[in-house]
Amino acid sequence: MQLLLGFILALLIAYLAYRAHSLNKSGAYAAAFTGTIIFGIGGWEWAILLLTFFITSSALSRAFKKQKQGLDEKFSKGHERDAGQVFGNGGVAALFAALHFFYPESTLPWVGFAAALAAVNADTWATELGVLNPHPPRMITNLTKVVEKGTSGGISLFGTFASLLGSAVIGLLAVLLAPADNALSTNYFHLHRTQVQVLLITAAGIAGSLFDSFLGATVQAMYFCPKDNKETEKHPLHTCGTQTIHIRGWTWLDNDWVNFACSAFGVITSLLLTGLF
């Protein structure tokens, strides 16, 4: 029954997002599939966490249009997310929802799910809000090197603060909504422990987001548009229609895989920290 309700809810949200141009057709199918697993197996707590990421990231990608003018071509895709982006951002989270089906008594699927979403939420908030930073970003691998806004691997004070906020929102919700009888469940008599858990998920999310920037600065596939004389993630064609040339990074490691790695790194961090506390 819950699986059927999850399917209907996922289908409805994917359809609305498609109509609002937040998702293209392949993205809508991917979102319906991912949503069915997460809503259908997890339930409403899992749904709220996923929707917090999905709704805030869709809204933020539309906000501050003026400040983002001319930046769109730097990012490999526009506002309409496709299947690759949906699986890149939600694939690891869906995997942990599936784990919850096989290990319903274990806390770890919820921790992993929350950490995966905290990481992609941190990364999205940093990308979308980082453009508001008054100064251009600096390379994460070389903080003395100033780069153009929107460059992969570039970080700024504002973007880092945005990633902290994006991660903390998921961390806070993850602890508030933790399933009962769960090691993460909120309990006023264990407020201290609860705070530690919020910090744990938040830290995992920031770690994932920083790892994303690190990959962007080092091994992510980067291309060059000879017509615009610009570095871009776009391949094979730039926004102007010109064929882009590979200049650095692993050709298979596109933005979707980097997002996937971002959430996976968040999960690994959360599991390591869970072991510590």
* Site for Zn ion, rule CB under 5 A: 225, 227-228, 238, 240, 242
Residue type (1 letter), 131? V
* Token pair recorded at residue 189: 């008599």
CB of 2 to Zn ion, least distance (A): 48
CB of 226 to Zn ion, least distance (A): 8
Q: Which is nearer to Zn ion, 40 or 150 (CB)?
A: 150
* Token pair recorded at residue 56: 């805030």
Q: Which is nearer to Zn ion, 178 or 225 (CB)?
A: 225
Q: Which is nearer to Zn ion, 72 or 228 (CB)?
A: 228
**What DSSP letter does each residue of 19-69 carry, written as one string?**
HTTSB-HHHHHHHHHHHHHIIIII-HHHHHHHHHHHHHHHHHHHS-HHHHT
CB of 159 to Zn ion, least distance (A): 25
Q: Which is nearer to Zn ion, 123 or 231 (CB)?
A: 231
Q: Which is nearer to Zn ion, 241 or 275 (CB)?
A: 241
- Asked if residues 117 and 104 have their Cβ atoms less than 8 Å apart, the reply is no
CB of 242 to Zn ion, least distance (A): 5
3-state class (DSSP) for residue 114: helix
* Token pair recorded at residue 167: 């991660």
Burial class (CB in 10 A: 0-12, 13-18, 19+), 226: exposed
Q: Which is nearer to Zn ion, 106 or 242 (CB)?
A: 242
CB of 152 to Zn ion, least distance (A): 17
Burial class (CB in 10 A: 0-12, 13-18, 19+), 88: buried
Count of all residues that appear for the chain in the document: 277
Cα-only R_g, the chain: 19
Q: Which is nearer to Zn ion, 100 or 238 (CB)?
A: 238
- Asked if residues 18 and 24 have their Cβ atoms less than 8 Å apart, the reply is yes
DSSP 205: H
